[in-house]
């Protein structure tokens, strides 16, 4: 057997394996205790986008001044966020107070590799369906 060919095939296999591997990243969404409903919706949308991509989300509430004396309000806000994104992920670590911040980690239900594969399928499927329609339109113009 040709050793050069064997080495090349082994390298190609390793490259393909690296290409398909996915690392889960911890993304952070930072909130304040007195957040406007529209701003909350924006932050919730960011968290949903991260979870649907297969990444973990760290939701952090920053307390300032007298807000630090009301940690239960921050706990309620984090519970509301967890309930709003429940279909995409579940709470991995419960809300904990860490100095001026309260932190909670939400993990996705799907693995990152599954999310990437589904995104590839969605991206490739419309292109395949659009190609016959474009070909038919081109034939109509020629006739």
Q: What is the pLDDT of residues 34-81, one digit of tens each?
A: 999 999 999 999 999 999 888 899 999 999 999 889 899 999 999 999
Whether 128 has a pLDDT exceeding 60, the answer reads no
On whether the pTM is more than 0.85, the answer is no
Residue 103 Rama label (left phi>0; alpha psi -120 to 50; beta): beta
- C-alpha span between 43 and 51 (Å, rounded): 12
- β-pairing, 56-62 with 26-32? parallel
Give the pLDDT score at 120.
81
Rounded CA-CA distance 69/97 in Å is 12
**Pick from 120, 109, 121: nearest CA to 24:** 109
Percent of the chain with pLDDT over 90: 48
Confidence grade of residue 117 (pLDDT, cut at 50, 70, 90): confident
Number of other residues whose CB lies within 10 A of the CB of residue 78:
22
């Amino acid at each position: 057997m040709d050793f050069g060919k064997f080495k090349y095939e082994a390298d190609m296999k390793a490259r393909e394996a690296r290409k398909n591997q996915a690392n889960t990243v911890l993304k952070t969404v930072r909130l304040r205790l007195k957040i406007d409903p529209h701003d909350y919706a924006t932050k919730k949308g960011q968290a949903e986008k991260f979870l649907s991509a297969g990444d973990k989300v760290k939701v952090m509430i920053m307390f300032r001044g007298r807000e630090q004396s009301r940690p239960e309000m921050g706990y309620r806000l984090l519970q509301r966020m967890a309930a709003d994104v429940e279909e995409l992920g579940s709470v991995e670590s419960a809300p904990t107070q860490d100095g001026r911040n309260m932190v909670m980690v939400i993990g996705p239900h799907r693995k990152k590799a599954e999310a990437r594969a589904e995104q590839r399928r969605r991206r490739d499927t419309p292109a395949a369906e659009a190609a016959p329609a474009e070909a038919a339109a081109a034939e109509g113009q020629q006739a």
